[in-house]
Structures are given as C-alpha cells and as structure tokens.
C-alpha cells in the first residue's frame, strides 16, 4: 500500500495590523494558494476541513474542493471533514461528484459527526438528534454513491426518495471515509459498514492510537470484509521548520492562540491548555519539529498503526501565511522523500 503525505486546513485568518478582525475572504484565497504549493512540492493530498468561525472560516469544504480541482493537475483532494450531521448528503455528493468530473480519480470525502454542536443551532437542527442525523445521512450518502437512481427512506427525511436520479456521476464511486475523533463506537461503525477510517487526532500517544488500528482491523476481520480493503488515515496537528526547537516553539505559540480564540468564538470561558509542550518532547501525536524528526516520527507511527495517509494541520492561530507556505515546502521536499525512501515507494 502506497503511503501518502499531505496537509489539511480549516482556514486561518491572520489578525489585522491594528489588532482588529482579520480578512476572512483573504483566508480562503490563502488556502487555495497553499494547495498549489502543496502540489508543486510533491505532496499527495490536501484536505479541506469544516469550521464556521472567523478564525477558521471554512464553512463549505466542498466549494474549496471544486475550486482546487479546477486549478490543480495531480494532487488528491477531499473534505476533512464534512460535518454530515448538519449538511444534506445529496448536496454533498452532487458537489463532490462535480469536482470529480473536473478532476477524475482525485476527489474523496470524509464524513464526520462534528467535534462541536455549533452547526446544529446555525442550521436549525436539534443537537439531541446528533447520532440519528449522522447515521441516517451517512446511509443515504453511501447509497447515492453506489447508484445513480435512489429509492431510500430514513428518519432525517420527511419524504422518501423514489427512483430519484442523482447527477453528475463520477467515472468511479467516491471514496468515502468515516471520520472519527477516536470513539470506540465510531471505530466499530467504520468496520461494520466496511468504510475506511479517518482518525482526527489532537493529542495522546502513539501507543494509544495504535490500539485503535488494532481494534478497527479486528472488527473488520470479524465482519469478513476483504483484508486488503481495510484502510486508515490520520490527521494531526503539526509543523515543520529547519530547526527542531524553533519549529516546536513557533507551533506551540500559534496553537495556543488557536485554542484561546476558538473558546472565545464559541462563547466558552478560556481554559489553560496544558501538556502540549511535553507532548512534543515525548514524541506524542503533535508532529512539530525539523524534517528528520518528523519523518522518523511518521514512520514510527506507520510501523504501529499501518495507516496509508497522514495529513498535518499547520496553519493555526493566525500564523503568517508565508510561514505556513515554508512549512508545506519543507514537508514536501525534505520529509516526504525520506518516507518514500524508507518505505520503498515511488
């Protein structure tokens, strides 16, 4: 299995020079520039997350997938994640199928429940229906991905679909990952449905997350799915700079700003985020460092988890765009070649 390395973003709005609100429109343009740099330096994948806040203004990841599909030639593209619980699965499919028509074979989707409840009130949905909405909408998304004519009914729709034609159709079905922050229920659901598993990771240890890989594959085998179809991708916080200590200090500063800003935007009291620095030093799941260290740590995780893709969120907390682009360049030109050489992949 080929190992892929890439980047993902929720958008990143640098503060204005006077300390006031930043330009969220510019943040969107910056994301598209980052995709082009990622492709130029040979990275395999760029993922577009979903957030609805001024600091991370990416409410429509499928729109960015389409924009990137039209302006790139090789790099894989996808949502990371689409908050399916509060979106319409038919529209999600139609938008991604449109991107797949523009960029055949390069478009995927990660369908998740969402890490917060902010979108439920925004789109007039009841957060008490959190799991029902996700389960029902995921079933419909998988159904429409498998067939152009859909007859389907489920609890999130008032009216059933009867022989509904859904177009455009990609030349091959979209790869749909089940996105999870690591709940045992989601791991089991991915295996039960025969879906690849996308782990969104903010902390913890390598050994801890390796257990999720074992649990997923054990459950997969019990369902008697083809062994080779089991697949795991990992999304982590991380940053690359020429110097290990500078990389860690830079990223920790902007990551702390991200946590503080996110709490304020959500109307929650700020709380001290502890242990992030020691997580770096202990080789945990925050991948910040120089190219050699990051390559070694990705390879170590791969040896335990057996994942096929790892993507890093590097543009956090109003980080200057130029700093972010430099990190992408190092990831592609310095980290990726080491990984490919060690794994013996082209």
At residue 113 the predicted structure's pLDDT band, cuts being 50, 70 and 90, is confident
Q: What pLDDT shows up at residue 142?
A: 98
What is the rounded average pLDDT of the residues 46-69?
96
With a cut of 70, say whether residue 59 has pLDDT above it. yes
DSSP H or E run through 177: strand 175-180
Task: Choose the weakest-confidence range: 11-20, 51-60, 134-143, 220-229.
Answer: 11-20
Q: Helix or strand or coil: residue 173?
A: coil
With a cut of 90, say whether residue 314 has pLDDT above it. yes
Q: What is the Cα–Cα distance from 55 to 262, expressed in whole angstroms?
A: 8
Top pLDDT among 216 and 277 is at 216
Q: What pLDDT shows up at residue 278?
A: 65
Q: Are strands 149-152 and 161-165 parallel, antiparallel or unpaired?
A: antiparallel
Top pLDDT among 295 and 270 is at 295
Q: What pLDDT shows up at residue 281?
A: 57
Q: What pLDDT shows up at residue 35?
A: 98
Among 246, 241, 239, smallest CA distance to 317 is for: 239
Q: What pLDDT shows up at residue 279?
A: 61
At residue 143 the predicted structure's pLDDT band, cuts being 50, 70 and 90, is very high
Q: Work out the angle at residue 145's Cα, subtended by the Cα atoms of residues 34 and 32, and round it to the nearest 5 degrees.
A: 10
What is the rounded average pLDDT of the residues 188-203?
96
pLDDT tens digit string along 15-45? 888 877 799 999 999 999 999 999 999 999 9
At residue 326 the predicted structure's pLDDT band, cuts being 50, 70 and 90, is very high
With a cut of 70, say whether residue 120 has pLDDT above it. yes
With a cut of 80, say whether residue 277 has pLDDT above it. no
With a cut of 70, say whether residue 115 has pLDDT above it. no
Q: What pLDDT shows up at residue 342?
A: 96
Residue ranges and CATH numbers for the domains of the chain are 4-343 (3.20.20.30)
Q: What secondary structure does DSSP assign to 12-67, as a single string?
A: --PPPTTSS---HHHHHHHHHHHHHHHHHTT--EEEE----SSSS--S-HHHHHHH
Q: What pLDDT shows up at residue 124?
A: 85
What is the rounded average pLDDT of the residues 275-281?
63
| Matching residue, tokens 């689409």 | 82
Q: Work out the angle at residue 317's Cα, subtended by the Cα atoms of residues 15 and 293, and round it to the nearest 5 degrees.
A: 140
């Amino acid at each position: 299995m080929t190992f892929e390395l890439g980047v993902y973003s929720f958008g990143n709005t640098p503060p204005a020079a006077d300390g006031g609100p930043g330009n969220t429109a510019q943040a969107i343009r910056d994301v598209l520039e980052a995709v082009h740099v990622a492709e130029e330096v040979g990275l395999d994948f760029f993922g577009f997350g979903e957030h609805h806040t001024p600091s991370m203004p990416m409410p429509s990841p499928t729109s960015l997938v389409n924009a990137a599909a039209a302006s790139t030639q090789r790099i894989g593209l996808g949502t990371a994640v689409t908050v399916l619980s509060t979106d319409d699965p038919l529209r999600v499919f139609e938008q991604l199928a449109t991107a797949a028509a523009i960029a055949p074979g390069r478009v995927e989707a990660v369908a998740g429940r969402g890490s917060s409840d902010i979108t439920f009130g925004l789109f007039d949905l009841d957060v008490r229906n959190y799991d029902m909405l996700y389960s029902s909408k995921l079933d419909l998304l998988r159904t429409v991905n498998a067939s152009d004519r859909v007859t389907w009914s489920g609890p999130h729709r008032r009216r059933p679909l009867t022989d509904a034609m859904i177009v455009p159709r990609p030349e091959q079905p979209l790869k749909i990952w089940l996105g999870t922050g690591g709940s045992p229920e989601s791991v089991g659901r991915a295996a039960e449905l025969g879906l690849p598993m996308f782990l969104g990771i903010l902390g913890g240890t390598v050994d801890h997350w390796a257990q999720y890989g074992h649990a997923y594959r054990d459950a997969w085998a019990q369902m008697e799915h083809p062994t080779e179809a089991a697949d795991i991708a990992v999304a982590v916080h991380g940053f690359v700079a020429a110097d290990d200590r500078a990389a860690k200090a830079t990223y920790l500063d902007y990551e702390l700003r991200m946590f503080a800003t996110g709490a304020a935007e959500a109307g929650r009291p700020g709380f001290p985020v502890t242990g992030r620095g020691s997580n770096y030093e202990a080789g945990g799941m925050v991948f910040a460092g120089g190219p050699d260290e990051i390559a070694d740590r990705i390879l170590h995780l791969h040896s335990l988890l057996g994942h096929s893709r790892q993507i890093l969120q590097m543009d956090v907390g109003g980080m200057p765009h130029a700093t972010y682009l430099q990190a992408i360049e190092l990831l592609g030109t310095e980290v990726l070649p080491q990984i490919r050489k060690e794994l013996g992949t082209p």
